[in-house]
């Protein structure tokens, strides 16, 4: 018998996120409704956050999160982890825009790369885009001192990412308790998810702290957390806005296009949890899961045969970097389109309010 990544055994589990079949249909529907309602609320509240500075930053944050999620790093023998991105999104562009950023990444991954089941989109969005972002932002906002130094901001970002990751993992535990497939007890799932995602959270905390400190050093005025918490005037920007934005975009492209080749092929914390109790046995030249584990209930992705499935080009994993760059572009473009819709709604609302107050349209209220 040989233990290997479930990704090598079957295409029924995605590389990163919950696949179809892990929880039952009623649970999937319940969390799809929760996710849809919460994202609608986030879109309305995001109108206040999306000014001229935040709009392009939001697109780049989505692109960056897509890129770093491609890089799995080892945390235990046979287990890897990847960043969720909730805390870094909340700190840089705010909780509402941040939730939209992570949700867009998950949608792009599911539709273009067959990563994360389609019926599991609601559960994945709830865990990573809602719980992870909200927990990360609350920790960061509550723990940021009145006059923070850069090192303190980094420590706050680390704590926010760690606790946000663990909170998102506990979201899966709740979903499994409500309608999880057979194969493990809730207690065993809770314990293993807590251990693996604490380790993943440490890695996420380090990367989040480095990223936030880098942005604070270059463009502190673009860090939502510093603006929203009414802190003293931030230091002068070290880079012009266009130079910073192009640099941020270049980092996302380099991570997706090059660093993704160094990603661990081992199952991540969630996949490892669903595989516990099973072994892999070769039968007639194919590898099968034997035993009893949650992963045996996973269903094949509807788009498993799509051209970019598994972050490849037509199944050629030597072109993963190209697929990653395409994903970065897709995440940025999709978020940019969402931002335009949200800001258009903001403009219409201002125009309607002005008309109701004065009885005439204002040229200023029509500008975006």
pTM of this structure: 0.88
Per-residue model confidence as pLDDT tens digits over 339-363:
888 877 655 555 555 455 565 555 4
Q: Which two tokens stand for residue 1?
A: 């018998």
φ and ψ of 139, to 5 deg:
-65, -45
Determine the Cα–Cα distance for residues 198 and 193; give it in Å rounded to an integer.
8
DSSP letter for each residue of 101-152? HHHHHHHHHHHHH--S-STTHHHHIIIIIIIHHHHHHHHHHHH--SS--HHH
Q: In this predicted model, what pLDDT tens digit does every residue of 266-290 receive, in sequence order? A: 889 999 899 888 887 777 767 677 8
pLDDT digits (tens, 9 = 90+) for 113-128: 999 899 999 999 999 9
Give the chain's domain count: 1
User: Is residue 328 situated within a structural domain?
Assistant: yes
Query: Could you tell me which residues are beta bridge partners of residue 80?
Result: 74, 268
Does residue 264 sit within a domain? yes
For residue 226, give its domain range. 6-366
Q: In this structure, are residues 91 and 231 in contact, taking their beta carbons and an 8 Å threshold?
A: no
Specify the residue for token string 């604490």.
198
**CATH code for the domain in which residue 200 is found:** 1.10.1760.20
Q: Annotate 110-137 with b (16+ C-beta within 10 A) or e (fewer).
A: bbbbbbbbbbbbbbbbbbbbbbbbbbbb
Q: Is residue 1 part of a domain?
A: no
Q: Tokens in use for 44?
A: 């309305």
Quickly tell me which residue has 């945390």 as its tokens. Answer: 75
């Amino acid at each position: 018998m040989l233990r290997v990544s479930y990704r090598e055994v079957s295409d029924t589990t995605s590389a990163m996120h919950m696949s179809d079949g892990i929880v039952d249909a009623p649970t999937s529907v319940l969390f799809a409704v929760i996710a849809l309602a919460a994202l609608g609320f986030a879109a309305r509240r995001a109108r206040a956050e999306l000014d001229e500075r935040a709009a392009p930053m939001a697109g780049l944050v989505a692109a960056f999160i897509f890129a770093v999620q491609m890089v799995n790093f080892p945390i235990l023998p046979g287990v890897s982890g990847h960043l969720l991105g909730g805390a870094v999104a909340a700190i840089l562009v705010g909780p509402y825009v941040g939730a939209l950023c992570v949700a867009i990444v998950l949608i792009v991954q599911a539709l273009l790369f067959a990563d994360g089941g389609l019926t599991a989109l609601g559960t994945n969005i709830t865990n990573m885009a809602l719980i992870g972002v909200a927990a990360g932002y609350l920790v960061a906002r509550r723990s940021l001192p009145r006059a923070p130094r850069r090192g303190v901001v980094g420590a706050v970002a680390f704590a926010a990412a760690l606790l946000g990751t663990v909170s998102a993992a506990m979201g899966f535990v709740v979903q499994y308790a409500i309608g999880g497939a057979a194969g493990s007890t809730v207690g065993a799932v809770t314990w293993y998810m807590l251990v693996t995602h604490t380790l993943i959270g440490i890695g996420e905390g380090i990367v989040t702290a480095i990223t936030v400190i880098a942005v604070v050093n270059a463009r502190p005025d673009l860090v939502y957390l510093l603006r929203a918490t009414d802190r003293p005037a931030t230091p002068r920007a070290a880079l012009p806005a266009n130079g910073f934005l192009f640099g941020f975009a270049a980092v996302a492209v380099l991570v997706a296009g090059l660093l993704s080749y160094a990603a661990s092929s081992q199952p991540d914390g969630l996949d490892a949890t669903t595989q516990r109790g099973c072994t892999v046995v070769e039968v007639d030249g194919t590898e099968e899961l034997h035993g009893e584990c949650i992963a045996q209930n996973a269903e094949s992705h509807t788009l498993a045969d799509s051209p970019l499935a598994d972050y490849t080009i037509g199944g050629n994993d030597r072109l993963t970097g190209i697929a990653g760059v395409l994903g970065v572009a897709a995440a940025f473009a999709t978020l940019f389109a969402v931002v335009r819709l949200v800001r258009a709604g903001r403009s219409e609302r201002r125009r309607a309010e002005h008309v109701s107050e004065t009885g005439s349209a204002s040229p200023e209220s029509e500008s975006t």
